[in-house]
Structure 1
Amino acid sequence: MKVLAAMSGGVDSAVAAARAVDAGHEVVGVHMALSRSRAQSRTGSRGCCTVEDASDARRAADRIGIPYYVWDLSEDFHDLVVEDFLSEYAAGRTPNPCVRCNERIKFASLMDRARLLGFDAVCTGHYARVGTDGPDGGASLHRSRNDAKDQSYVLAVMGPEAAARALFPLGEFADKQAVRDEARARGLGVSTKPDSYDICFVADGDTRGFLERHLGSAPGEIVDADGTVLGEHAGTHGFTIGQRKGLGLSRPAPDGAPRYVLDVDPGARQVVVGAAELLSTRVLVARDVVSFEAVEAGRTVGAQIRAHGEAVPGRVRAVPGRGTGDLLEVELERPIRGVAPGQTLVLYDGDRVLAAATLERRA
């Protein structure tokens, strides 16, 4: 096959590209320039799309022996990921930008360009596995063998059509050190490069500061569940449901217990806080469902709401088009905390992804 290998400049994508070559594919490397300010320098494991990353990707491609190009996708990334991140927080929701990047950039914008240029598949360094046990022999998406690095959660929104055109050579690796060892054996200089983490376009890790710089100040009240004013804030976009730290409250709860954010209301400019037990829910309601296979009401599933969280056993209570409009409802076997609108819900059957959706509310 003719394969386009997305090369971030890190060890994972470099080894993935090398393995695609070993598999006999005709491979071309491409570095996605996503930042509007690519002259910036990397700070440890923070940041992305820096001069260092592009140079590291080029050196890796040269070592592997494949052509290498840089594609400027910065406008797409800004419009489809960064602006979505800002608008979601402004609306009192909690988005996952990694999910949006995979959905809209790596497996939409990049894959569309690859298809137009005649490539059969896109190869990335994600930790996940693609199978052929979907409906009618179609593509399926499975967890990686490496549970600690598994990225099936953030890839679930790609859907079966994109999965059928994706290669994830690292999905069978049991641990990250084995990937680094292989990179070292291949003579790839990125073998010891630190993993990137946090939100890639918030290079200093200060998400609240980033939001304040872009969304400005909109002061309001912090209240308890009864409406009693406990303090003030500079903007609801600085808070997310389940948050405990950084509330800025000087008055402790009557029982001395910590307070958590229970609700964010941008319209009223209010942040509601309260006891931890008020965060618990057993029913998840989601919209914008992307399915790898049909999920019927009554089916037992594993429901996961965070990239590295636990899949909690549950049962599908309602599916879109069955009297619920476009909503999916899942009832969990036990309550969980910190469910926020805007988060991604992924449903599993064992290690196989069934569907992904965007959480609307907790019931």
Structure 2
Amino acid sequence: MGTPARNLLLVSGTRPEIIKLAPLYHALKTRPDTRVQWLHTGQHGDMAEQILACFDIKPDIKLARRGSTLAEFSIGCRAQLEQVMQEPWSLAVVQGDTESAFLGALTAFYHHVPVAHVEAGLRTYNPARPFPEEILRQMIGRIARFHFPPTERARAALLKENIADKLITLTGNTVVDAQNWVITHRGIGRKIEGRGHLLVTTHRRENWGHDINEVCYALATIAERHPELQILFPVHLNPVVQQPVHAILGHVPNVKLINPLDYLEMQQALADAWLVLTDSGGLQEEAPTFGVPLLVLREETERPEALEAGCAQLVGTQRAKVVDTVEALWQNQDAWQAMARAGNPFGDGKACERIIATLERDLA
């Protein structure tokens, strides 16, 4: 058997990276003259193992996580990546804006290995929100040779930063490809009748403290007004989140506080939802696939396409605004339907096809 024409390394470290790289990995595995290796940095441990198994992926290379702090992890990861890069790779593929993605891109750069950046061009231009992701993704943007923005807005951001147009391919977001994969292979789809539940998640550190309290008091008010509405709240395991959520909502009859859901459970919870309240970036991309309106518990979002398309609204965390917005959608079926029917502005499920077409055309 001859040497493959393309020797590709996919670098992942966290749950979202795995989700968004998984469909690309499976698609690349079917291509002739292509060897693709999956590297997991260990940035996420058990959560990562669950999601890898969900997508039938066994990493070819697993790094050992060293230390408990981000700094210790970074030092250990960078040293181990140095050894991996001794192999003659044709391309390193990274996704998003994590420490693992940045370290993978940086190490490849030092070894003159071209970098492909999946989900390129997301920007808030606020270094503190999200922190440190905003700066990490900008730095990856300076390193990458292939830029795969999910939306026209992301593409425009790259052009504004003087990235050459010929290096940019508008693809859509691979998260939709991943959803289509689990719908087909894992049987995800709506399984309940009626309105459905109100699904809530909040975990971002900029919302810790007062803002989480405000959201919880808003949910308590909504639950009291609508005892027939089931509120499903998978609670992040961080004590900073757990304590106020359980203190404020633990005894509300129609609020169900549960442990964090794995990927398949979350996709099913989305499919069965009436409405989503979240500060998660990923859910902003995923809820529209199932036609579920979403309220963003943040003051800004790097995914404004959801707002422009009409499938999401930015509500922040102040209790009065959260309550009033939910109440308006409860009372106005036409407004809810308009959001539900807006479609998913982040992709059509063909992002991986476009990425592979670009790589096969342009990767020497």
- TM-score calculated relative to the size of structure 1: 0.31
Normalised TM-score (structure 2)? 0.31
Q: Highest CA radius of gyration, 1 or 2?
A: 1
| Bigger share in helix | 2
Higher strand share: 1
